[in-house]
Amino acid sequence: MIRIAILDDEPLARAGVRARLKAYADVRVVAEYADGQSALDGLRAEPVDLAFVDVRMPGLSGLEVLALLPPAQRPLSILLTAHDGFAVRAFELRAIDYLLKPIDDARFAEALDRARELLALRAGAMPTQVAQPTAGGRIEIRIGNRIRYVEPERIDWVEADGDYARLHVGAHSHLLREPLYRLAERLDPQVFLRVHRSAMVRVAMIDELQPLANRDALLRLRNGTPVRASRTYMEALLARLRHAGTRT
């Protein structure tokens, strides 16, 4: 059972998360907090597996709460906010997802699936969905005793997840038993571009590029997902976007 805390100063927002979670039999909401200090005190006293965290709360912000928790006590977190200016800090705190309000149900389900798989990996259990490369270019995804095949052109973006690569395909994500650098060698470089040592994207999915002060950038994909782009890859990224006519 995944133990969950909800941190949000808006009662309706907490109720919305709680209502969505009722659809999942393997989760349990064990605590709710309406301000940062009570959240910090509560999470120190009673750690949880996963926290849905509103970025802006009275007193300590949601990000400050996470930063003040020691890494060993810090739960996996899914950030909730009506603003998109906090994504960089979210990456620094290793938030596993970043959902803009009003919350999209498909994105909510994807974020929870990702948390479930990461918790399974932490516990030493195999995830329910594991993908394997195939000789024909398609990627084989085993889901229980079923096998699904994904065409590479359906992949929106890929990120490193420990020794795995995580494929994001629409509202779903799947773990591939292959490190990101090897997958990058197999995917078409005219379609996919490495933007960070731990991320690559399908170029056609990039909708917006926001330069950052340290010469990195924050990419916004067409489905709203933020992806950090490193300055190491910036020249090639900008050249590709200009060539593709993608709005930057």
Compute mean pLDDT per 10 residues along the chain, 248 residues long, and list them.
95 95 92 96 95 91 92 89 65 74 86 80 54 64 74 90 82 80 87 92 93 86 87 91 64
Provide CB contacts within 8 A for 52, sequence distance 6+. 4, 5, 6, 7, 8, 17, 77, 78, 80
Residue pair 32/14 in contact by the 8 Å Cβ criterion: yes
Q: Give me the pLDDT at residue 131, please.
A: 56
Q: What is the pLDDT of residue 127?
A: 47
Beta bridge partners of 166: 159, 175
Q: Where are the alpha helices (DSSP H) in the chain?
A: 11-21, 36-45, 62-68, 87-92, 105-122, 180-186, 234-244
pLDDT value for 87? 59
The secondary element (H helix, E strand) that includes residue 157 is strand 157-161
Domains of the chain: 2-122 (3.40.50.2300), 129-244 (2.40.50.1020)
